[in-house]
Amino acid sequence: MTGPTGSAPAATAVLAGVVAGRRVWLCDLDGTLVDSFPAHEAAFRQAIAEVVPAALPSFRYADHAGASTAEVAALLTGDREVAGRLARRKQELYRRFVEQGRVRPFPGARRLLDRLTGGGRVAYLVTSGSRGSVERVLTGSALGACFRDVLTADDVPVSKPDPEFYRLACRRWHVDPAEAVVLEDSPHGVASAVGAGLATLHVHTAEPAPGAVAVRGLDDIVSLLEMT
């Protein structure tokens, strides 16, 4: 016998336990609600080829997923001025790709956010993206109206996986961690949320990062919420 999403009953029970009673949802954007990985990787690779070509052969975007562009640029270059040029060029390219329609919501993203807001829950966006890029993605995906507020990398002095990223989000919105659940897709994001003491769902995976509960897809969460 399986649960409502095709998962085993035990897994469904664990997921239900995380979701139950939590009215505040803190959602990541890139890789969680929108499929932006290919566009981010392409933008980074092109920017690296132009600014620091020697770093391109060893670059793997998957190693940096969930980190801010500025942080990745700093790690790749070790030079503040060069890192600034790399980050600016990458953001310019990524925003162009967004405007070309290369970043789209994952299946179930809109259904999930509509279910949350329609069911009396509150959704906030907590993302390592820059505000300029995030605003473009939210406009292009028509997801912006689903969030009560948005926190980006431009608003905080730290980056995921630092737990302070989510602690700052909770303080900013007066959120009790016991009443919130986090939606993340990357080990960086999960580490930040779990480190801040937040119940965390690791989506689009069968093997969660430490401290999180695995969820294969957003529709799995929608199915569970429809039963509550």
CA within 13 Å, CB half, 29 = 32
DSSP string, 154-213: GG-S--TTSTHHHHHHHHHHT--GGGEEEEE-SHHHHHHHHHTT-EEEEES-SSPPTT-E
Instruction: Give me the catalytic one of 28, 35, 185, 220.
Output: 28
With CA atoms as reference, report the closest residue to 94 among 109, 72, 77, 63.
72
28 assigned to active site: yes
* Radius of gyration for the chain, computed over Cα atoms and rounded to the nearest angstrom: 17
214 with 202: CB under 8 angstroms?
yes
CA within 13 Å, CB half, 139 = 10
Distance CA 48, CA 36 (A): 18
114 assigned to active site: no
Separation of CA 61 from chain center: 15
Burial of 4 (0-12, 13-18, 19+ CB in 10 A): middle
Q: What residues act catalytically?
A: 28, 30
